[in-house]
Amino acid sequence: LTYNGKNFTSYSKPQQLRNDLLNTIFVDKQKNIWYASDYVNDSDFTTGGVWKSDGKSFVEFTKKDGLNNTSPFLVMEDSVGNIWFGTRNTGLYKYDGKTFTNFSE
């Protein structure tokens, strides 16, 4: 739910996303909505990572996409449209729209 000073807008969320693990929601310049969630693996459910929504459908990004750390805490966009993810244990990832690049200490 967001408020622009006049109206409230509600958004759907990925079905796999647990509210208690949601770290951040970010809207980029293209109006895509990014959801970042902490990772948990219990006997009933495994979740965590990043989802992107264009308002119609969700795309989940996982290790197969190059996002090896599934506990993102921060999502930001730079001036040229790259999406940056700050993750648990000092992981930093850049997504250029096609691939993830990992930066570490």
pLDDT > 90 fraction of the chain, expressed in percent and rounded: 30
Q: Does position 65 have pLDDT exceeding 90, yes or no?
A: no
Q: Does position 82 have pLDDT exceeding 70, yes or no?
A: yes
- Residue 46 to residue 59: CA distance in whole angstroms: 17
Sort residue 49 into left (φ over 0), alpha (ψ -120 to 50) or beta. left
Q: Does position 2 have pLDDT exceeding 70, yes or no?
A: no
Average pLDDT over residues 39-62: 76
Over its C-alpha atoms, the chain yields an Rg (Å, rounded) of 14
In tens, the pLDDT along 24-35 reads 889 999 999 998
- Residue 92 to residue 101: CA distance in whole angstroms: 8
